Structure 1
Amino acid sequence: MASIPTVDLRTWRTDGSPAAVDRALRTAGFLLVTGHGIAPDLRAAVRAQARVFFGLPEEAKRRYAVEVGERGWLGPGAEANGYAEGTETPPDLKESLSFAAEEPSGDPAVDAEWFLPNTWPAEAPLLRPLVADYLARMRRLSDDILGLLGAALGEGEDFFTRHTTHPTWGFNINWYPGAGTTGSPQPGQFRIGPHTDFGTVTVLDRQRGRGGLQVFTDEDGWQDAAYDPDALTVNIGDLMSFWTEGRWCSGRHRVLPPPVDEPAEELMSLVYFYECDPGTDVRGVDSHRYLREKLDAIKVG
């Protein structure tokens, strides 16, 4: 999609990227970013260890089963992202390992809801250190991206990061198995149904696939998302749209089901959802009450 620019984070201050970012976020709500410093080997290693877990028998994975918004395994049928926009879709065709912020803030009530310990599958012991490394890099990268967005908005690089001193975040390793595992899609069923994300920015490491990411714009409708193997995909969420009073649109997207002509295709995405400090008022919206309502909305059953 021509409306999704690629931004080199090493040079954005001097190459005119803030203006291009502003234009893109008014339409699609998506960017590609290079110069992000996340090594391909690390991303591949996280995927390899996650495959160890996803390849386990269901009874083994079930020991880690949780509901949406909790830390652990979201099995088949647990989530339907289309519910977030009020669409009654079938459940999403995916499994996820979900992690979230766990360093206590010191506020017992906040910590009990948003900063709980993560669950690490014993069957994939190398996953924890790899994910910890990846998440530390994602946190720094997300603040860099928020600096770019503050500049693009004309408000200064600390406009958003002043609200990320002790933020919440979520991290999903999404496994999209082939049709041999999921069965044939029901009408209106996707690997992830149409929705917008809920927080400030999402940083996505994805794989190219026929049953991959699509982005919606008013001008072009649904189109395959631009892809660059060296880039990460960034989209803004609802809180960012609120923050800009609708100047920027929360990026609407979906992930297609396994393709009919390539039913064995399987993909894995590393999805980092960056939010803000609990209690942040975003143009009159309580950030974390909003996040909790949205997470509750996409639970199946």
Structure 2
Amino acid sequence: MSAIATVDLSRWRVGGSAADAVAAEVDEGLQRAGFILVAGHGVDPTLTAGVRAAAREFFGLPDAVKQRYSVPVGGHGWIAPGAEANAYAEGTETPPDLKESYSLGAETATGDLEVDRVWFAPNAWPAEVASLQPLVDEYTAAMRRVSDELLALFAHALGLPANPFVELASRPTWTMNINHYPPVSVVGEPEPGQFRIGPHTDFGTVTVLDREPGAGGLQVYSDTDGWADAPYDPDALTVNIGDLLEYWSGRRWPSGRHRVLPPQPHAPEEDLVSLIYFYEANHDALVTPLEPPIGRVSGLQPVTSSAFIKERLDAITVG
């Protein structure tokens, strides 16, 4: 039996005892591994397929063209191979991750130039793939809806009288990474200790992932099973909580530790694209951890969302 539970949002929407049962499943599942599979989410699969196809069109462009949209980690645009090593966030030095990304984010500017430069910079849309922007705009709107619904469910799972994220995520920061994991013929043989994405946890509240299954795919860590291949359901989204939500829960729910394996010897030409939506909170949200008996740790100090996340983003930047 997998450490990752499957929950059905359509049952949550029914309310009453059905919603209570889903909330109990969520609490139990998140305590095991910080991951759940989410069915009944309502995201149109043709929209997801369209985003993935447009992304593949962009990633297939010559590097000289993609370079026009190049940005550092944390920016909005193309993040080239070699820019990130996610295991650095755990204090582990590894070779750079074997991936390239197109990164996009919230554009709800505050008027504070420095805040907007870091958290609400304009997105760079490739002129060569005109279909990408409208597809991603529609997809990220759907991802925000799912994320808000998940946070409401999580608050209910903890028995809270109200969902604090209605206010804490009224104008949230978020990032969407479209990750491309090329085959060995493109990236070369993996070095010792090199991954498509090294072992790490995410930084925000919830991460919503639509992924393609593969031999060099997602693995999740749990205390019961150690590293294990994440279960895959083509009709479900893979959801994990990030460091900020772990902290808010008083460490009741562990931030979901995971990695993406390098291309495997028996599938060297595997080529995968993942759609990853990292949800956070308002940049200036003051997140106050829950005390016991809900939380597991007492005395954790409130943190500001942007400072908490920026520290972690800086840690994974190569160089």
- Give the TM-score taking structure 2 as reference length: 0.92
User: Which residue does 1:126 correspond to in 2?
Assistant: 131
Partner Cα separation in structure 2 for residue 157 and residue 265 of structure 1: 45
What is the one-letter code of the residue matched to 1:292?
A: K
Q: Which residue pairs with 2:150 in the alignment?
A: 145
Aligned ranges for residues 1-301 of structure 1 at < 5 Å? 2-12=2-12, 13=15, 14-15=17-18, 16-156=21-161, 158-283=163-288, 284-301=302-319
8 Å Cα contact 2:3/2:225 also seen in 1 = no
Q: Deviations over 1:61-89 (max 9, x none)?
A: 11111100000001110100000110001
Which secondary structure does the structure 1 equivalent of 2:177 belong to?
Answer: strand
Q: CA deviation at 1:3?
A: 2.0
Counterpart Cα distance in 1 of 2:167 and 2:5: 26
Q: How many Å separate the matches in 1 of 2:112 and 2:161?
A: 30
Structure 2: how far apart are the matches of 1:68 and 1:112?
A: 14
Q: CA deviation at 1:282?
A: 2.0
C-alpha contact (below 8 Å) 1:147/1:156 kept by paired residues: no
Q: Return 5+ residue gaps in structure 1 as ranges.
A: none
Deviations 1:2-30 (CA, angstroms, capped at 9, x unpaired) = 22111111112443111111111112000
Paired with 1:111 and 1:77, the residues of 2 have a C-alpha distance of 26
Q: Secondary structure at the match of 2:175?
A: strand
Does the 8 Å CA contact 2:3/2:222 hold for their aligned counterparts?
Answer: no
Q: CA deviation at 1:103?
A: 1.7
Structure 2 contact 110–116 (Cα < 8 Å) conserved: yes
Give CA deviations for 1:190-232 in whole Å, capped at 9, x if unaligned: 0000000000000000011111000001111000001100000
Contact 1:197 1:238 (C-alpha < 8 Å) held by counterparts: yes
User: How much identity, in percent, do the aligned residues show?
Assistant: 59
Instruction: Give the unaligned 5+ runs of structure 2.
Output: 289-301
Q: Which 4+ runs in 1 deviate beyond 4 A?
A: none
- Structure 2 Cα separation of the partners of residues 198 and 42 of structure 1: 26
- Give distance in 2, aligned partners of 1:106 and 1:8: 39
Q: Is the CA contact (8 Å cut-off) linking 1:146 and 1:157 kept in structure 2?
A: no
Whole-Å separation in 1 of the counterparts to 2:164 and 2:7:
20
